[in-house]
Amino acid sequence: MNKQELINEIAVRTGFSKKDSEIFVGAFTGTIMDTVAKAEKVLLVGFGGWEKKETKGREGVFKAKKGEEKPWKTEDSFKPVFNPSKAFEDAVKA
């Protein structure tokens, strides 16, 4: 399901117009992104939660076919993580 299909489904289930549903989806996703970017958790009981996690940098060596070795390194960074609730996981498994 893409964003437009989600907007259409919300409009059908709620009776809202597609324009109002589009505004809702934009506000919902924007709020989650802004909150997680500030390193605050977002928790929807019965659905799941989002949070900001730190990923540690790594180092390694790329070995080319001709015997050349090229070292590489990634920096520490952050990524958003979604943790589904047990109810969500059970619904997917069914």
Tokens of 80: 């958003």
Q: 53 forms bridges with which residues in the sheet?
A: 79
Straight-line distance from the first to the last Cα atom of the chain, in angstroms, rounded to the nearest whole number: 19
Q: Note the pLDDT tens digit of each residue in 61-86.
A: 888 777 788 888 999 999 999 999 99
Does the pLDDT value for residue 23 go beyond 80? yes
Strand order of the sheet with strand 42-44? 42-44, 48-55, 77-84
**Closest by CA position to 52, among listed 70, 34, 67, 40:** 40
- Percentage of residues in the chain having pLDDT higher than 90: 85
Q: Is the pLDDT of residue 4 over 90?
A: yes
